[in-house]
């Protein structure tokens, strides 16, 4: 692919991802207000535009036009940095989500993902964990005790709920490793989605090899997602009945709008990661009849991803309308005493199924990637340590937990990376 | 290109590291430490160690520093001006710091002399190393085979720390032992 084509494709993808995030957020605000109104037997916004559809845009214009009031005694640098720091991670995650199969346009194959990192799943966790800085900094710099309390709550809550979230990502990766076409444990989002191809029973959440375990991982992940995005019933950092507005009490106008946008963008991120890790990503729930590589198949993939994200987000709003806010000790107890043990137990069960139900695959989860890596790039014998794994693997007998598995010779996997073991 | 990126990231890391110890405000110091971690993660990325870079952000910037900030905010430390509780620690720290830098410098000099920064073999990993270090599988395999004892010992150390904190902070009710608490 010539450089110009790649550049244009990349710019188009950036515009698509950023643009859709920024356009979808006001729509989500409208949808949430309408839905909550319906749940509470009210009408909701209906003055501006058909069904009040333009309400969010009007609100946005109002916020932009408002006077910016900066209270006395704030730490100016951090006060202004807070909303920006909130927005950056929220807008980054979208770059990693594959939104369709590779399509052929003008003779070139384009992957429908901005950046398919080999450590994608970890990167998402890392980026979302940075989102807390915006909240903590704005809470601290506002020189207001309610803001400070909100910031304190946010930091403790987010650090606590990151752990079970990570455990659920591990569970999802383990399930995906069993079904992946390459037979290799991978953190690359495109490979995780490929592992879920087929029907709905191949999706991680409903995987028929791991009945209910995938679903359990998804539910725990989802609950942690609620806490990470400060959504009800975990909206303690901004609990308006206790803390006025929490960390954004002292913000108004455009800066407050950035917090608001950041929260909805974070919802969108959690929903898209949930859909990608657990609900098959862009994979339709049936074997797609469309020819691979066609533009139509690309649209089909994008449709299904948006559909799944929509379902997950509807659940967000439903939960907000249903559940009251937790108390702080309940929040901490729930995270540490229930979610983390459940997440750990889930990993144990999945590992048990992987080891005992697929004994021929259990070593293959690890070994082929490493042997193919070492056969592609043979390690020089005089290497000063650090690559012990590769050298050690070529010793027969030390390869895997099953004694019946043949010792891995350095000769297999001559072709494509990681196809051994199948 | 890589050398330019290295220059920018290294400068960022060094300046933010200096800021950590020189800045008066604890919150700013903590934030500069976060900046330093991000710079280090960038340096790891330059060495193709993506997994290491992401863990640097995830663990240090995303979890540990948030807890640092939590404590600083909870105690509301704002520019501590009280007299130094350990008189003279500044000068001892300077001495030890200079000794450390001198030791590292001497070690590097004796291994590679002047050729270290310009030789490609000196700063670049070999192809096999790059191949392996990118793969989370390889790191995981090493952790659970070759380095399993250090790895497990570290987790035991953490467990001891957790139990110690639990023991120290546990409230014992009046007129009863700690085991009576439901």
Q: What is the pLDDT along chain A (422 residues), one digit of tens a residue?
A: 778 888 888 888 888 888 888 888 888 888 888 888 888 888 888 888 788 788 888 888 888 888 888 888 788 888 888 888 888 888 888 888 888 888 887 778 777 888 888 788 888 888 888 888 888 888 888 878 888 888 888 888 888 888 899 899 988 888 887 776 666 677 888 888 888 887 788 788 888 788 888 889 999 999 998 888 888 788 877 777 777 777 778 787 788 888 888 888 888 989 999 999 888 888 888 877 777 777 788 888 888 889 999 999 999 889 888 888 888 888 888 888 899 999 999 999 988 887 777 766 554 444 444 444 444 444 444 434 444 333 333 333 333 444 444 444 444 333 334 333 33
* Cβ contacts of A200 within 8 Å, gap of 6 or more: A206, A280, A285, A286
- CB of A124 within 8 A of CB of A237? no
Q: Which residues of B lie inside 8 Å of A (Cβ-Cβ)? A: 27, 31, 34, 50-51, 54-55, 57-58, 61-63, 66-67, 69-70, 73-74, 76, 126-129, 131-138, 140-142, 145-146
Residue B82 lies in a domain: no
Q: Tokens in use for B23? A: 């800045």
SS3 A108: strand
**Cβ–Cβ gap B136/A379 under 8 Å:** no
- What pLDDT is attached to residue A296? 82
CATH classification at residue B24: 1.20.120.1200
Chain B neighbors of A127, CB-CB under 8 A: 57
Q: How many CA atoms lie within 13 A of B44 on its CB side?
A: 17
**Cβ–Cβ gap A125/B58 under 8 Å:** yes
Q: How far is CA A323 from the centre of its chain?
A: 24
The radius of gyration of chain A's CA atoms, rounded to the nearest angstrom, is 24
**Cβ–Cβ gap A126/B54 under 8 Å:** yes
**Cβ–Cβ gap B142/A140 under 8 Å:** no
- What pLDDT is attached to residue B98? 93
Interface of A with B in 179-218 (CB under 8 A): 184-185, 187
Residue B60 lies in a domain: yes
Tens-digit pLDDT profile for residues A136-166? 888 888 878 888 888 888 888 888 888 899 8
Residue B101 lies in a domain: no
Across A205-223, b (16+ Cβ under 10 Å) vs e yields bbbebbeebbbbbbbbbbb
Choose among B34, B66, B142: nearest Cβ to A389: B142
Nearest CA distance, A289 vs chain B (angstrom): 35
Residue A258: count other Cβ atoms within 10 Å of its Cβ: 22
**Cβ–Cβ gap B126/A184 under 8 Å:** no
Structural domain including B60 reads 1-77+119-125
- What pLDDT is attached to residue B118? 45
Compute the distance between CA of residue B114 and CA of residue A340 in angstroms, rounded to an integer: 51
- What pLDDT is attached to residue A117? 80
Nearest CA in chain B to A378: B128
Chain A neighbors of B44, CB-CB under 8 A: none
* Cβ contacts of A17 within 8 Å, gap of 6 or more: A94, A95, A114
Nearest CA distance, B95 vs chain A (angstrom): 33
- CB of A266 within 8 A of CB of A257? no
Domain count, chain B: 2
pLDDT at residue B96 tops 90? yes
Share of chain B above pLDDT 90, in %: 16
Quote the ipTM score. 0.72
Residue B164 lies in a domain: yes
Q: Is A389 on the interface with B (CB under 8 A)?
A: yes
Residue B142 lies in a domain: yes
Residue B108 lies in a domain: no
- What pLDDT is attached to residue A184? 65
Compute the distance between CA of residue A176 and CA of residue A125 in angstroms, rounded to an integer: 18
- What pLDDT is attached to residue B84? 67
**Cβ–Cβ gap B62/A137 under 8 Å:** no
DSSP-assigned states of every residue in B123-181: HSPPHHHHHHHH-HHHHHHHHHTTTHHHHHHHHHHHHHHHHHHHHHHPPPPTTS-GGG-
Of A130, A136, A129, A127, nearest to A79 (Cα)?
Answer: A136
| C-alpha dihedral, A215 to A218 to A219 to A222, nearest 10° | -160
How is residue A44 annotated by DSSP? -
* Cβ contacts of A126 within 8 Å, gap of 6 or more: B54, B55, B57, B58, B61, B62
Choose among B70, B126, B142: nearest Cβ to A152: B70
Q: In chain A, where are the structural domains located? A: 74-356
Compute the distance between CA of residue A302 and CA of residue A40 in angstroms, rounded to an integer: 33
Residue B158, judged by CB atoms within 10 A of its CB (0-12, 13-18, 19+), counts as exposed
Q: Tokens in use for A333? A: 């107890």
Tens-digit pLDDT profile for residues B54-87? 888 888 888 888 888 888 877 766 655 666 677 7
Chain B neighbors of A125, CB-CB under 8 A: 58, 62
- What pLDDT is attached to residue A283? 85
Q: How many CA atoms lie within 13 A of B180 on its CB side?
A: 7
Nearest CA distance, A368 vs chain B (angstrom): 10
Best probe of the B interface among A96, A119, A372, by most B CBs < 10 A, is: A119
- What pLDDT is attached to residue A132? 84
Q: Tokens in use for A183? A: 């037979």
Share of chain B above pLDDT 70, in %: 76
Chain B neighbors of A397, CB-CB under 8 A: none
């Amino acid at each position: 692919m010539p450089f110009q084509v790649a550049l244009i494709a990349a710019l188009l993808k950036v515009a698509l991802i950023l643009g859709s995030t920024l356009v979808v957020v006001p729509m989500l605000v409208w949808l949430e207000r309408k839905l909550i109104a319906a749940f509470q037997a009210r009408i909701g916004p209906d003055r501006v535009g058909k069904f009040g559809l333009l309400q969010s845009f009007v609100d946005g214009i109002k916020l932009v036009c408002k006077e910016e009031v900066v209270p006395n005694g704030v730490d100016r640098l951090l006060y202004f940095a807070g909303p920006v720091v909130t927005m950056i991670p929220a807008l980054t995650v979208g770059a990693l989500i594959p939104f369709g199969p590779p399509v052929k346009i003008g003779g070139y194959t384009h992957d429908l993902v901005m950046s398919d990192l080999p450590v994608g799943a970890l990167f998402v966790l890392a980026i979302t964990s940075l989102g807390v800085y915006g909240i903590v900094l704005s809470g601290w710099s506002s020189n207001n005790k309610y803001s400070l309390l909100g910031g304190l709550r946010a930091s403790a809550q987010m650090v606590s709920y990151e752990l079970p979230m990570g455990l659920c990502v591990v569970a999802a990766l383990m399930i995906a490793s069993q079904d992946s076409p390459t037979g290799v444990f991978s953190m690359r989002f495109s490979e995780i989605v490929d592992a879920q191809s087929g029907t709905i029973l191949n999706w991680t959440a409903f995987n028929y090899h791991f009945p209910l375990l995938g679903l359990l991982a998804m539910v725990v992940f989802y609950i942690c997602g609620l806490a990470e995005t400060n959504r009800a019933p975990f909206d303690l950092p901004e609990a308006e009945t206790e803390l006025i507005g929490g960390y954004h009490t002292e913000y108004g106008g455009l800066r407050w709008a950035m917090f608001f946008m950041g929260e909805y963008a974070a919802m969108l991120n959690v929903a898209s990661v949930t859909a990608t890790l657990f609900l098959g990503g862009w994979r339709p729930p049936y074997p797609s009849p469309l020819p691979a590589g066609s533009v139509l198949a690309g649209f089909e993939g994008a449709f299904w991803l948006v559909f799944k994200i929509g379902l997950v987000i509807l659940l967000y709003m439903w939960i907000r309308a249903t559940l009251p806010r937790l108390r702080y000790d309940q929040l901490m107890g729930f995270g540490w005493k229930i979610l983390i043990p459940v997440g750990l137990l889930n990993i144990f069960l999945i590992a048990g199924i992987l080891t005992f139900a697929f004994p021929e695959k259990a070593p293959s989860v690890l070994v082929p990637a490493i042997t193919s890596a070492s056969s592609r790039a043979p390690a020089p014998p005089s290497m000063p340590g650090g690559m012990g794994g590769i050298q050690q693997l070529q010793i027969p007998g030390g390869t895997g937990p099953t004694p019946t598995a043949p010792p891995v010779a350095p000769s297999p996997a001559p072709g494509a990376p990681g196809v051994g073991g199948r | 290109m890589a050398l330019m990126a290295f220059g920018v990231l290294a400068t960022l890391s060094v300046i933010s590291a200096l800021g950590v110890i020189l800045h008066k405000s604890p919150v700013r110091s903590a934030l500069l430490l976060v900046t330093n971690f991000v710079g280090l993660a960038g340096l790891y990325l330059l060495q193709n160690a993506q997994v290491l870079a992401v863990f640097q952000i995830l663990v240090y910037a995303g979890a540990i520093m948030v807890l640092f900030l939590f404590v600083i905010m909870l105690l509301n430390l704002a520019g501590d001006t009280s007299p130094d509780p350990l008189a003279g620690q500044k000068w001892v720290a300077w001495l030890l710091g200079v000794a450390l830098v001198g030791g590292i410098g001497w070690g590097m000099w004796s291994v590679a002399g002047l050729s270290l920064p310009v030789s490609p073999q000196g700063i670049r990993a070999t192809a096999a190393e790059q191949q392996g270090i990118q793969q989370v599988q390889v790191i995981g395999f090493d952790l659970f085979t070759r380095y399993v004892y250090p790895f497990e010992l570290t987790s035991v150390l953490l467990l001891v720390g957790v139990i110690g904190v639990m023991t120290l902070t546990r409230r014992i009710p009046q007129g009863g032992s700690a085991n009576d608490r439901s």
